[in-house]
Chains A and B, each alone.
Chain A
């Protein structure tokens, strides 16, 4: 027998609770329909959001790819430019052009350290500094005149790490360094004396193994032999000195001719700078065209993705609307039938003094309880399904945001309230006399 405590209190909640337990089919199908509506809503929102995030990621990857491609393109471009030579030449300010023309090489030297000063100055308008010591000499051993060039490889400009490998070497140097004890040959030098890689040549008493032979370039390079800088300095008797610095002007500087000159002479006041602007202009043009192409590809892809998303959003909207409508109709039918079934009970409740709002509360309370229960289950199911179908691994909650969850939690109770309101009002307004008068 029931005890005399508050748990035994009979109130509206008792009525609602007992009724829900009593009509399990209606209760379960009602909750289920709301769960489905909520889950579909939440899952669709998550899928759409996940899709958006995936697109963003894709676009970011594409951009990164393009950036890599740009660097690649620049490298390719550099290889082309190698055949055209460098476009900036830095010489001693004392070098007279007439001497340069007459001798074919710079007669006034600068310090090898100058190239490092330039490299470490933070200058951004130059790339690929190549210190060169060059003279036209008579090659006694072969009875011919050649240009003998000492190079040590390019010195990176440290302000431009983008072009450098992890070892601070150029990704694709214009001019490869010459290994110790070896020599690189221009095409005509090699052809004329029938030299191939692996042969040993002697120059001024020093032996060098032929490292490689460059293809014909149609310029002075064909008559040149390259050896390591320090060996050239020893041969010429000018340790620590170089003829000048070859450099490649950065495309960013092409807008303003003379900018490089201003910057270089500020760092190395004892130098003069020669710029060859046609090369600069050609380079800028190549690069602009490439970047415009990339921009177009990116835009086309963006437009495609956005069209796809609009399509998906429209589909989701229709699906959600249909499911919500179905759930609403079902709740309406359930509560409406329930009201009809409970006609006599409503009559007697009203007869024994239940107010309209109490009857309303019983039926509306019932549908809202179904809604609240469904909102929790539906949200969890929707989040799980959404993440699953969006292809997120366990623990990945990236596309789940507060708005979606709040919307999902509110949807079912609001839906149940709205759908249950009309039949509940009908129940509350039934005239008890009409019901009790039926025989």
Chain B
């Protein structure tokens, strides 16, 4: 199993010491080449689950195994490194760096992981072409349409060939056409052999997912 999540729980402290159980004992396994979709309404805990699974947020309890490695048993710096090399993220808000060009944005993960190389540049060009961004390669994000921005963000997530791709509402800001394109590419990346976790309440995911979980109030509901 590329990604294995076991008994993950997380509570947030609200004001007056009221606790909100955002994720409540979730277990999940994703194999290489598999696209798993977690669907549910806003506030059910999808983002919290994804951040924990992606190594960005320590769970209150439970484990995350990435390629067999216990992520939260690692010291934080090691965890950053593993994330840089093996994980890709796509978010609803894209989070592109506004003062860098599309090409630079796509290459930015190589700065964090220290993996810059000419072949990486070639891969960036290849992704730009594949995602139909050729005419936008030297543009800043501000000059792009939302669809182009999300495609650029997706290219950035894929530049290091991560073994696991996490996507949080990647189509939340997109029109139907762009949503189709982005979902197709995400599904295509699973077909290339990666494990993909897609959390969304978007029904346009359709039958691209190999498995679909419904989430409600921090738990997977049966059915």
Please tell me if B91 contacts chain A, counting CB pairs below 8 Å: yes
Binding stretch for chain A, among B31-39, B107-115, B207-215: B107-115
- Interface residues in A226-272 (C-beta closer than 8 Å to B): none
A-B interface, 5 closest residue pairs, ranked by CB to CB distance from nearest: A353-B84, A22-B99, A348-B95, A353-B112, A433-B57
**With A11-B116, A352-B109, A355-B80 in contact, is A345–B97 under 8 Å at CB?**
yes
How distant is B7 from chain A, measured CB to nearest CB, in Å? 19
How many B residues touch A, CB cutoff 8 Å? 40
Please tell me if A354 contacts chain B, counting CB pairs below 8 Å: yes
| Cα-based distance from A432 to B89 in the complex (angstroms) | 12
Please tell me if B122 contacts chain A, counting CB pairs below 8 Å: yes
**With A345-B95, A358-B111 in contact, is A433–B89 under 8 Å at CB?**
no
Binding stretch for chain B, among A1-9, A127-135, A306-314: A1-9
Please tell me if A15 contacts chain B, counting CB pairs below 8 Å: yes
Interface size class of A (residues with CB under 8 A): 20 to 34
Beyond the given A10-B116, A436-B91, A439-B47, please list 7 additional residue pairs across the A-B interface where CB-CB is below 8 A: A9-B116, A15-B111, A353-B84, A353-B109, A355-B81, A358-B112, A437-B57
Q: How many A-B residue pairs have CB under 8 A?
A: 97
Report yes or no: B81 in contact with A353, Cβ–Cβ below 8 A: yes
Report yes or no: A15 in contact with B109, Cβ–Cβ below 8 A: no
Please tell me if B85 contacts chain A, counting CB pairs below 8 Å: yes
Residues on A with C-beta less than 8 A from B89 are 348, 351-352
Residues on B with C-beta less than 8 A from A439 are 47
Report yes or no: B112 in contact with A349, Cβ–Cβ below 8 A: yes
Bitwise, B46-61 to A at CB < 8 A (1) or not (0) is 0110010010110000
How distant is B62 from chain A, measured CB to nearest CB, in Å? 16
Report yes or no: A19 in contact with B99, Cβ–Cβ below 8 A: yes
| Cα-based distance from A4 to B118 in the complex (angstroms) | 7
Please tell me if B137 contacts chain A, counting CB pairs below 8 Å: yes
Residues on A with C-beta less than 8 A from B222 are none
| Cα-based distance from A436 to B51 in the complex (angstroms) | 8
How distant is B13 from chain A, measured CB to nearest CB, in Å? 13
Please tell me if A347 contacts chain B, counting CB pairs below 8 Å: yes
Contact of B51 among A11, A345, A433 (CB under 8 A): A433
Interface of B is mostly: helix
Report yes or no: A351 in contact with B111, Cβ–Cβ below 8 A: no
Residues on B with C-beta less than 8 A from A22 are 98-99
How distant is B104 from chain A, measured CB to nearest CB, in Å? 5
**With A344-B93, A345-B95, A353-B84 in contact, is A10–B111 under 8 Å at CB?**
yes
Residues on A with C-beta less than 8 A from B100 are 10, 14-15, 18
Please tell me if B138 contacts chain A, counting CB pairs below 8 Å: yes
Contact of A354 among B93, B112, B121 (CB under 8 A): B112
Residues on A with C-beta less than 8 A from B97 are 15, 345, 348-349
B156 closest partner in A (C-beta): A352
- Interface residues in A303-358 (C-beta closer than 8 Å to B): 344-345, 347-355, 358
Report yes or no: A352 in contact with B108, Cβ–Cβ below 8 A: yes
Chain B CB count within 10 A is highest, among A8, A12, A354, A436, for A436
| Cα-based distance from A8 to B87 in the complex (angstroms) | 25
Residues on B with C-beta less than 8 A from A196 are none
Residues on B with C-beta less than 8 A from A19 are 99
